[in-house]
């Protein structure tokens, strides 16, 4: 069985190479709307979406994130992507946001157990929406690491982010640099257990 939604889910790929062109306002709003309509625990709708299209800010926060990410480097047999390397694959990559023109940071309440799950659901909606309209996207976890220095803390104040919220994750958006999307990996067998 297949339909347009299932096809979109099965063909979406993580993109880490972006063109410099800024994302159009109509496209960006469509992706944000998809995030706003994601399921949330108790219908609470507690996720805050901060959209940064400022190249200098995004680059600085991406460098902070890279410097605070203590990822184990990949090996010849264990890696994230050979086609579009991640910061774990290539130590020469100094910007954990891969020069994406749009960085959306999802903030969640500090005192709400299900906040990170709500943010993850919103991120998936946004990535699927982005793919459906020709944008590329990438999910970046542990977003609080991006603000773990004086510039990051100053940025939170500048953005007027509530102090009872923290950065859960980032969604990177842009037009894919390569015409060909990365190849999908075969699905591992044995992951469905019917009882």
For the stretch 102-144, pLDDT in tens is 999 999 999 999 999 999 999 999 999 999 999 999 999 999 9
pLDDT score for 67: 92
Smallest CA-to-CA distance from 143 within 18, 47, 15 is with: 47
Measure the CA–CA gap between 27 and 134, rounded to whole angstroms: 9
The reported pTM is 0.94
Report the range out of 69-73, 151-155, 178-182 with the highest average pLDDT: 151-155
Q: Is the pLDDT of residue 79 over 90?
A: no
List, in sequence order, every residue forming a beta bridge with 176; answer none if it has no partner.
Answer: 18
Q: Measuring CA to CA, which residue among 30, 171, 179 is closest to residue 100?
A: 171
Can you tell me the mean pLDDT for 85-104?
93
- How would you write the chain as a 3-class SS string? CCCHHHHHHHHCCECCCECCCCCCHHHHHHHHHHHHCCCCHHHCCCCEEEEECCHHHHHHHHHHHHHHCCCCCCCCCCCCCCCCCCCCCCCCCCCCCCCCCEEEEEEEECCCCCHHHHHHHHHHHHHHHHHHCCCEEEEECCHHHHHCCHHHHHHHHHCCCCCCEEEEEEEEEECECCCCCCCCCCCCCCCCCCC
What confidence tier does 184 reach under pLDDT thresholds 50, 70, 90?
Answer: confident
Q: What is the mean pLDDT of residues 69-85?
A: 82
6-31 pLDDT per residue, tens: 999 999 999 999 999 999 999 999 99
Whether pLDDT at 70 is above 80: no
Rounded to whole angstroms, how far apart are CA atoms 29 and 39? 18
């Amino acid at each position: 069985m297949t339909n347009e939604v299932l096809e979109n889910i099965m063909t979406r790929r993580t993109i880490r190479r972006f063109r410099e062109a800024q994302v159009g306002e109509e496209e960006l709003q469509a992706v944000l709307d998809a995030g706003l309509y994601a399921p949330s625990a108790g219908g609470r709708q507690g996720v805050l979406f901060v959209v940064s299209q400022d190249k200098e800010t995004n680059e600085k926060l991406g460098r902070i994130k890279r410097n605070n990410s203590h990822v184990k480097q990949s090996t010849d047999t264990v890696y994230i992507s050979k086609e579009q390397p991640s910061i774990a694959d290539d130590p020469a990559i100094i910007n954990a946001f891969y020069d994406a023109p749009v960085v959306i940071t999802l903030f969640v309440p500090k005192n709400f157990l299900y906040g990170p799950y709500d943010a993850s659901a919103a991120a998936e909606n946004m990535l699927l929406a982005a793919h459906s309209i020709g944008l590329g996207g990438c999910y970046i976890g542990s977003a609080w690491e991006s603000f773990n220095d004086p510039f990051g803390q100053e940025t939170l104040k500048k953005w007027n982010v509530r102090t009872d919220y923290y950065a859960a994750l980032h969604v990177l958006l842009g037009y894919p640099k390569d015409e060909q999307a990365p190849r999908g990996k075969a699905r591992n067998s044995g992951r469905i257990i019917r009882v």
